[in-house]
Structure 1
Amino acid sequence: MSKKNEISPPGAGLTVNDVEIVATEAAYQGFFQLSKYQLRHRLFAGGWTPVIEREMLERGHAAVLLPYDPVLDQVVMVEQFRLGAVETSEYPWLLELVAGIIEEGESAEDVARREAVEEAGLDVQQVELICSYLPSPGGCSERISLFIGQVDSSNAGGLHGLATEHEDIRVHVYRTEDALKLLETGKIDNAASIIGLQWLAMNHQRIRQQWLQTKLSDN
């Protein structure tokens, strides 16, 4: 038994090698793939589970970028329709960060920079990784790499997106304090945007001063 205040590491020594994939089949293949797994894994108390079945949405991995302008102290966000919000939201056009799926041969940072151009017309200068996380590991294999990127927001705005992908994206520019107010009042309710803006709230002064100093030294 662990001591009351002792912090035990997650996993208790278990690794991916303590999972046995018995069988996998594609249950559905469309824009995304739904896979059916038969598997078993070790138990914390020892031994193994019986073979269990799980479905997993295989949508690839994604890169997300919070575009931040340290000179004007502004963030750029994009607004677009999301089917997943229809059931629970009166307005299923969500305020989000720039994002895209990572294709084979691309790095997460490459995707973040490319999507900034496609979705918001922004060229990204410096970037910093905020975190890498699993948005819904109980039913989806996706991992998200979330960055903050230095941009010039002075001319940001308008409508963007690739017609070939049926994208209809409206760009918004907010003062940092106003974006954080939207977060506080629940107007921003998707995970990547919440995480990115909360990180900016905690690191605002540090990242702004760092990037402003870099900009001065480059000039």
Structure 2
Amino acid sequence: MTIKDTPEEWEIRDSATPFTGNKTSVRTDDVVMPDGSVARRDYQVHPGSVAVLALDEEDRVLLISQYRHPVRHKLWEIPAGLLDVPGENPLHAAQRELYEEAHVKAEDWRVLADVYTSPGGCDEAVRIFLARDVSEAEGERFVTEHEETDMEYARVPVDELVRLVLAGDLHNNCLVVGVLALAAARAGDGLESLRPADAPWPARPFTS
């Protein structure tokens, strides 16, 4: 048995989209089960996202604190954002989000992890990048709005973040996965063994 996620699609007898929002929608599919029965599955259709674990020369991670209304929490997170354009290169999207949310640029980019955030109820796929050799970006800062106008910033050592994750003090999935993936990579084959920034991403294919 090979332990690797594999593409598979079961027969859909009927499909409807009862809700369409600004960025996401809700889809209802009637799916044929292995025993021949048909089960209804409701899920959020999502364009996909990117997230950036930006690591500075002092081994600190750039964090952003932002209010998240669905969970009624202000969460510490790493910079992240939607893939706004179908087929958009995820690296370009990550570089844009790092600039817009933190006014930071980076010279060295790697893929830390690719995840489905909640595959039982949403098709969102996220690519988490590691960005190193970071510095302040040139030009004017991006104009924020809504929740982003209340963001706070911090730079926290990697070891401290691992401790906070395991203590149950941090909950954002991209931050948790990114930090633990970074720690695992260091303990294993090293950061230079991470996939290149343009590695294929079957969940959200891109061309350039």
| TM-score normalised by the chain length of structure 2 | 0.78
| Equivalence map 1:181-196=2 (5 Å) | 181-196=163-178
Amino acid at match of 2:107: Q
Partner of 2:61: 75
Amino acid at match of 1:53: R
Amino acid at match of 2:163: K
Partner of 2:74: 93
Amino acid at match of 1:201: A
Partner of 1:140: 122
Higher strand share: 2
The structure 2 residue matched to 1:26, chosen from 14, 17, 20, is 17
Going from structure 1 to structure 2, the CA distance change for 1:151 and 1:49 (only over 3 Å counts) comes to farther
Deviation at 1:186, TM superposition (A): 2.0
- In structure 2, stretches of 5+ residues that fail to align are 195-208
User: For this pair of structures, how many residues does the alignment match?
Assistant: 185
Find the aligned partners of 2:146 and 2:2 in 1 and give their Cα distance. Answer: 46
SS of structure 2 residue aligned to 1:123: strand
SS of structure 2 residue aligned to 1:124: strand
Going from structure 1 to structure 2, the CA distance change for 1:134 and 1:24 (only over 3 Å counts) comes to same
Identity %: 21
Partner of 1:109: 91
Deviation at 1:179, TM superposition (A): 2.4
User: Is residue 161–residue 167 contact of structure 1 (8 Å, CA) maintained in 2?
Assistant: no
Deviation at 1:101, TM superposition (A): 0.7
| Equivalence map 1:4-19=2 (5 Å) | 7=1, 16-17=8-9, 19=10
Going from structure 1 to structure 2, the CA distance change for 1:20 and 1:162 (only over 3 Å counts) comes to farther
User: Is residue 117–residue 124 contact of structure 2 (8 Å, CA) maintained in 1?
Assistant: yes
Find the aligned partners of 2:36 and 2:128 in 1 and give their Cα distance. Answer: 34
| TM-score normalised by the chain length of structure 1 | 0.74
User: Is residue 112–residue 182 contact of structure 2 (8 Å, CA) maintained in 1?
Assistant: no
Larger Rg: 1
Instruction: State the Cα RMSD in Å.
Output: 2.7
SS of structure 2 residue aligned to 1:138: coil
Question: 1:107-160: CA deviations, max 9, x gaps?
Answer: 11111111000111110211111121111111101111111111436x69xxx7
Deviation at 1:98, TM superposition (A): 1.0
Amino acid at match of 1:82: R
Find the aligned partners of 1:180 and 1:150 in 2 and give their Cα distance. Answer: 18
